[in-house]
Amino acid sequence: MSDSLMTTYARQPIAFERGEGAWLWDTEGRKYLDGLSGIAVCGLGHAHPAVRDALCDQAGTLVHTSNLFRIPLQERLGEALTRLAGMDRAFFCNSGAEANEAAIKLARLWGHRREIAQPAVVVMENSFHGRTLATLTATGNRKVQAGFEPLVQGFIRAPYGDLEALANIAHNSPNVVAVLMEPVQGEGGVNLADDDYLRGVRALCDEHGWLLMLDEVQSGIGRTGHWFAFQHSGIAPDVMALAKGLGNGMPIGACLARGEAAEVFRPGNHGTTFGGNPLACRAALAVIEIMESEGLVQRAGALGERITRRLAEALAENPHVAEIRGRGLMIGVELDRPCGELVTRGLEQGFIINVTAERVIRLLPPLVLTDAEADQLADGVIALVQAFTRG
């Protein structure tokens, strides 16, 4: 591998040359079934013809003008996302970290306008919100923060899923202005927030005048079987961060807001150079159009049930499998031991998977999987787990 790149990643010694649907081919011509989709990014798979055509056409028409001017494609995308999410306004950026950074800044302005001089945001253990200084501080993983002190002030951490702990924070911390959390923790090990818990958090936010801010960077855009994971529980957030699946590989993020939260930012409060440019918005509009016309959101739910059921039936008697959990095509298989080497074993057998939180095999395949491909992925993981746990 080249020495010209900073060593910020422990990369696998494989380079991919091309992709089609749920499949990738490396530079040696080997074929892989993609169970990761670029970490929940390529929901429509690789080289989707509609996205390709939209990008080629837009690249030959207009790529960038700056947010100093109206961008009609950005306005169309904002209308599409707010319609799907039940929100009022959108701010477009380039990544999930930037979307969460926008949410944190919005919360601080929200607090200052209520004369709270030191506004605080409640964040969760085992969360992941990005690698900017504010978002890594919000992240509930010491490994992400180590070496980057001093961290940003203004965060209070709570155990994920513990409503009583959040109520205690409400009782003892008058500076809280918002809660930032993932409805499904991805990097933290595919941990689901119980629907009753989410409804309880919503009620606490309403009671205390806090903003409920959901990080749906990984769980949004159809991956869990609804357009957004919060829609399983029947609640609505005040602020929501999106990215990964929105552009199917084009870098784009969004921070959505509704109600009073949607009126917090004013000209000059926040901005971005590249965010929401015509090229990125054209790709995202193509993604939404395809997902709606082909029913891929519902398809994600059905495929997730199919894969999870197959895994559960085959691994039910394996004492080293602690739990199989997930929602839609966001699936985790937790083992009783660290299992990072399964990533390399999977590649050797033609499967792309991920391991997070040391012991959790994470599957985030494209939403365009066929039934046969879904079965093939599940069978590949089953074989890997059985061989690994036999020692």
Over range 221-232, report the average pLDDT: 98
pLDDT for 272: 97
Question: Dihedral of CA 153/158/163/169: which sign?
Answer: negative
Reported confidence tier of residue 241, pLDDT bands at 50, 70, 90: very high
Measured in Å, how far apart are the chain's first and last C-alpha atoms?
31
| Torsion angles phi and psi, residue 280, rounded to 5 | -65, -40
Over range 77-103, report the average pLDDT: 98
Summarised one tens digit per residue, pLDDT across range 12-59 is: 999 999 999 999 999 999 999 999 999 999 999 999 999 999 999 999
Reported confidence tier of residue 145, pLDDT bands at 50, 70, 90: very high
pLDDT for 386: 98
Q: Is 215 annotated in the active site?
A: yes
Q: Is 128 annotated in the active site?
A: yes
Summarised one tens digit per residue, pLDDT across range 252-285 is: 999 999 999 999 999 999 999 999 999 999 999 9
pTM of the model: 0.97
Residue 212 tokens, joined: 């409920």
Q: Pseudo-torsion of CA 36, 39, 41, 47, nearest 10°?
A: -40
Count the helices and strands in the chain (H runs, E runs): 12, 17
Q: Is 351 annotated in the active site?
A: no
Summarised one tens digit per residue, pLDDT across range 184-212 is: 999 999 999 999 999 999 999 999 999 99
- Helix extents (H) in the chain: 37-40, 49-59, 72-85, 96-112, 133-138, 142-145, 163-172, 195-208, 278-293, 296-315, 342-348, 371-389
- Judged against a pLDDT cut of 90, whether residue 121 lies above it is answered with yes
d(CA 267, CA 126): 35
- Judged against a pLDDT cut of 80, whether residue 391 lies above it is answered with no
DSSP state of 253: E
The one catalytic residue among 228, 244, 265, 351 = 244
pLDDT for 389: 96
Summarised one tens digit per residue, pLDDT across range 3-24 is: 999 999 999 999 999 999 999 9
Reported confidence tier of residue 232, pLDDT bands at 50, 70, 90: very high
Over range 371-387, report the average pLDDT: 98
Peptide bond before 150: cis, by omega within 30 degrees of 0?
yes
Helix (H, G, I), strand (E, B) or coil at 362: strand
pLDDT over 70 for what percent of the chain?
Answer: 100
Summarised one tens digit per residue, pLDDT across range 148-190 is: 999 999 999 999 999 999 999 999 999 999 999 999 999 999 9
The one catalytic residue among 128, 228, 265, 351 = 128
DSSP letter string over 14-57? Answer: --EEEEEBTEEEETT--EEEESSHHHHT-TT-BS-HHHHHHHHH
The one catalytic residue among 215, 230, 238, 265 = 215
pLDDT for 51: 97
pLDDT for 42: 98
Instruction: List, as own/partner pairs, every contact residues 82-89 make where C-beta atoms lie below 8 angstroms and the sequence separation is at least 24, other chains included.
Output: 82/256, 82/258, 84/227, 84/228, 84/288, 85/227, 85/228, 85/240, 85/256, 86/236, 86/258, 87/240, 87/256, 87/257, 87/258, 87/262, 88/257, 88/258, 88/259, 88/262, 89/256, 89/257, 89/258, 89/262
Reported confidence tier of residue 2, pLDDT bands at 50, 70, 90: confident
**197 close to 138: Cβ distance less than 8 angstroms:** no
pLDDT for 1: 79
